[in-house]
């Protein structure tokens, strides 16, 4: 007997929508709109939770890898949108450290501020910048637990050389969370009653 292999891939519609894309997304808003569109479409197509993210080339503003939350379909609590995007970016670029020599500087854009797990993962990923839409408290308001994060987490990342930009298209990002809740979407949190 052996232990199982673990594998995942993006929902097919993400490949169809973005797999050929080489155009730049020059502004923070354009890059965030992509992350938000991924979150929205992930819910509409019932392929996961209301969260989207993407790793971009920080200087050329081109997409390296997108991510959506696929926790439920993939049976894996780690597959938040940010983790999916960072894992795939490391596969695309062929290194476990996106800050390795000869790689482009990388930026992670996420429709909602990272939870405690994703925040820790950002620190190991090698990205140089984190761009966030909705805030922690927006996610908490609809019942998603963000975990115990250090209250000064943006400063902690800055101390590690990772720039943090917040509140980009926050209202639009929040509207996706709100629509998910109003549509009766599942809010899963271990060891507690779903809301």
State the DSSP code for 24: B
Report which of 150, 195, 153, 151 is spatially closest to residue 177, judged by C-alpha positions.
195
Q: Please count the residues of the chain.
A: 195
CB 16 within 8 A of CB 38: no
What is the smallest separation between the CB atom of 171 and a copy of itself, expressed in angstroms?
27
Decide whether 28 or 188 has the Cβ nearer to a copy of itself. Answer: 188
Determine the Cα–Cα distance for residues 132 and 120; give it in Å rounded to an integer: 15
Cα 33 from chain centroid (whole Å): 13
Decide whether 29 or 97 has the Cβ nearer to a copy of itself. Answer: 97
What is the smallest separation between the CB atom of 69 and a copy of itself, expressed in angstroms?
11
Q: Note the residues at the interface with a copy of itself (CB under 8 A).
A: 1-10, 14-15, 18-20, 65-66, 71-72, 74-78, 83, 86-88, 90-92, 94-99, 115-121, 123-126, 128, 145, 147-150, 153, 156, 160-162, 188-192
Based on the residue annotation, tell me whether 82 is a catalytic residue of this protein. yes
What is the smallest separation between the CB atom of 150 and a copy of itself, expressed in angstroms?
5
CB 61 within 8 A of CB 79: no
CB 110 within 8 A of CB 130: yes
- From the candidates 82, 107, 113, 172, give the one annotated as an active-site residue: 82
For the record, the structure tokens of 95 come out as 């290194």
Decide whether 157 or 169 has the Cβ nearer to a copy of itself. Answer: 157
Decide whether 12 or 166 has the Cβ nearer to a copy of itself. Answer: 12
What is the smallest separation between the CB atom of 149 and a copy of itself, expressed in angstroms?
7
Q: Which residues are catalytic?
A: 82
């Amino acid at each position: 007997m052996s232990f199982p292999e673990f594998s995942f891939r993006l929902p097919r519609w993400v490949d169809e929508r973005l797999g050929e894309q080489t155009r730049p997304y020059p502004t923070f808003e354009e890059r965030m709109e992509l992350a938000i569109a991924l979150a929205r479409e992930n819910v509409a197509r019932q392929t996961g939770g209301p969260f989207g993210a993407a790793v971009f080339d920080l200087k050329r503003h081109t997409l390296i890898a997108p991510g959506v939350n696929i926790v439920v379909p993939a049976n894996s609590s780690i597959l938040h949108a940010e983790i999916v995007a960072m894992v795939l970016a490391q596969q695309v670029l062929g290194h476990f450290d996106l800050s390795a020599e000869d790689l482009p500087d990388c930026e992670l854009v996420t429709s909602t501020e990272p939870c405690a797990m994703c925040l820790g993962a950002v620190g190991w990923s090698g990205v140089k910048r984190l761009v966030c839409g909705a805030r922690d408290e927006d996610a908490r308001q609809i019942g998603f637990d963000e975990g115990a994060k250090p209250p000064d987490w943006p400063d902690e990342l800055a101390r590690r050389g990772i720039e943090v930009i917040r509140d980009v298209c926050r209202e639009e990002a929040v509207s996706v969370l709100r629509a998910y809740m109003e549509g009766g979407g599942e809010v899963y949190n271990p060891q507690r009653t779903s809301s």
